[in-house]
Copies of this chain bind each other. A is one copy, B any other.
C-alpha cells in the first residue's frame, strides 16, 4: 500500500471542530488505500499565545527553552487528532519530532534537518496505524529539542515524504497557488500546475502559501507536492518538475511589502573595493535583492533591497564591521515595495523587464530598481503604489496572455 503524507497548518487544526474535519479527511484518504503520515502544526493562535507568555517574562529568551516551550503546541494538536481518529474507529498514533527520528543540527529556533530515521513511523504503518507527526520540531544529536523555524511544518512534511518516497499534500487555508493574491487582485486565478523553480521564486518573493525552503527540499528529492484547501474539496495546485510544463512564460505576480532600499557608497577606495564590500555584505548574512553595482577605479556605489525589519540591524552590523579601505557612507530608504513577475525562461527575455517597466511607467508608478532573472523579474516601487503595480502587471502579463493552462 503506498504511503501518502498530508500536512495540516495551524488554521486547519485551529478548533476542535476543525480537528474533527481533518480526521474525516485523513480517514477518507486512508480508506482510499493509503498508508497515511499526517504532519500537524500547533492549533491556530497557540504558538502566539505561548510566545506572548514568554515575552511577558523576558525580552531575550534562551532559544533552547523557547523551543521546549513552543513544541508543546504540536503535541497538543497531534494528540487531539489521534483521539479524533480513534473516536472514528481508526487506529492512530502520534509521535513527537524526536520520536519520529527527525534529527537536526543544534541551531535552536531555526534548526536544519540533518537526517530522518523514521523507524517507529515505519513500524506503526506496518501495523496498519495512521501515523501523526508533530511538525516544526526535531531533536539534535545531543538529544536537545529543536524547532525548524519559519515554514517548519511544511519542511517536516516534505522531508518525511522524501524519506518514504511518497507524495505530499499541504493543506492550508487557501485553495492553492494563485496568479496573484486574490485579496489584492480579484481577477487572480488558481494555477493548476507550477514548476518547483517558479514556486520557489514566488515563495521567495512574497507569496505566503508555501515557504521557499520546503519547495527547495521538494525539488531536491523530486517529491510530488500539492497545495490545497483543508476547507473544501476543490482541486489545488500541483508543483512539478518544470521540464514537464508548458505554458506562458509569466505564471504569477507577487508583492512583497515593507522593503527598504540601502545605498552604500565608497570614495578613495583601493582597487578591488567593490569585491571587498560585497564580501563584507555576504559575511553579514543578510538576504539581498536587486543588487546594483556601479564601480570606477576609486569609487563604488552599491544599492539593494532588504526587508524593512532587517534594515536597522544591517546598518548596525555594517557600522561594527571591519570595512575595506576608503570613506564609506550608508543610507537607508524605507517605504518601498517589491513587485515581481514569476515564471520560467524569463532571463533571456529582455522584453519582459522592459514591458513591465513600461506598464508601470504608463501608470506613473516610479521604478526605483529592477532585476531580471531566469525565474523572476522584480521591480522596486514606492510602497503606497505596490498594490496598484501588482494589479497592472497581473492585467498585462496574466489576464491579457490567457493565463496559465
Contact = CB atoms under 8 A, between A and B. Distances in A.
Given A53-B80, A75-B75, A65 B87 contact: no
A106 to B, nearest CB: 14
Interface of A (DSSP majority class): helix
Contact of A56 (B16, B57, B79, B94): B16
Nearest to A52: B16
Given A56-B16, A57-B16, A99-B143, A75 B80 contact: no
A20 B71 CA distance: 22
Given A72-B76, A75-B71, A65 B53 contact: no
A78 B73 CA distance: 14
A274 interface: no
Interface string A72-101: 110110111011101100001110100100
A68 interface: yes
Interface in A40-76: 50, 53-54, 56-58, 60-62, 64-66, 68-69, 71-73, 75-76
A17 to B, nearest CB: 9
Nearest to A134: B68
B78 A68 contact: yes
A68 B50 CA distance: 18
Given A50-B76, A64-B93, A99-B143, A57 B84 contact: yes
A19 interface: yes
Given A53-B16, A57-B16, A99-B143, A83 B65 contact: yes
Given A69-B75, A75-B68, A94-B68, A83 B99 contact: no
A80 B94 contact: no
Contacts of A84: 57-58
A54 B43 CA distance: 14
A145 B75 CA distance: 11
B50 A65 contact: no
Interface core residue of A56, A58, A79, A99 (most chain B CB under 10 Å): A79
A57 B20 contact: yes
Contacts of A73: 72
Contacts of A64: 93
A100 to B, nearest CB: 12
Nearest to A23: B57
Contacts of A68: 75, 78-79, 82, 94, 96
Contact of A62 (B19, B58, B75, B83): B83
A293 B391 CA distance: 89
A108 to B, nearest CB: 12
Contacts of A65: 79, 82-83, 86, 92-94
B71 A83 contact: no
B99 A80 contact: no
A76 B68 CA distance: 7
B80 A76 contact: no
Nearest to A87: B58
6 contacts: A16-B56, A57-B84, A61-B83, A66-B79, A68-B78, A68-B96
Given A54-B79, A66-B79, A69-B76, 13 more contacts: A53-B76, A53-B80, A57-B80, A57-B83, A57-B87, A62-B82, A65-B83, A65-B93, A68-B79, A68-B96, A69-B75, A71-B75, A72-B75
Please list the 8 inter-chain residue pairs (A to B) with the smallest Cβ-Cβ separation, ordered nearest first: A69-B79, A58-B87, A72-B72, A68-B79, A65-B82, A72-B75, A65-B79, A16-B56
